Structure 1
């Protein structure tokens, strides 16, 4: 796998977790499973992130009894977490639009060739 792809995933992991928790409270294994299905991030990456997010006040936890074992630790967004989600979402949207714009320039005709022997180039904006 390309090293950049790994960094892309790690870079958006917190945003993705905040987005998942904005939909519903969840426990670590469920969060890891959902992320594994969509962006191929494993369980080992989630738990350190969840501890940091709790320490930073973005999430809080509570326990729910489980019929199949010990109580599960659920994570829920705090108000700081919701604000962070909104800020990160806005930043992500602006960033991806900017990158798409740059990448799109490569795929669209951006110049009209000059007549033979001329050094003039006419640039057209898409």
Structure 2
């Protein structure tokens, strides 16, 4: 039921999204990369806790390295996540513009076809 109901909608939307292959590829890559960064943040957090817990007064370098890694992962995650939002908004706007252009052309063609057929004889 679910698949039969939404399959035509998915095909319709995918048809417009596939018109922008570079943007779609960038969107998918950015989303996968942001998910991978999100998954690695707890690991980096654990390394930071271990580095701080192991007498940071004598060995400060591992704690600073772990903190730099943690902050880098967080910054990368937020940059990629915001890029995903911007990319999907841009791609949606481009797809909607194409949809409206095609719909308007089809509606205009209907009246031209009617005039051509009605007054043809």
Instruction: Flag whether TM exceeds 0.5 (same fold).
Output: no
Q: Which has the higher strand share?
A: 1
Sort the TM-score into its range (normalised by shorter chain): 0.3 to 0.5
Q: Which has the higher helix share?
A: 2
Structure 2-normalised TM-score?
A: 0.36
Structure 1-normalised TM-score?
A: 0.35
CA radius of gyration, larger in: 2
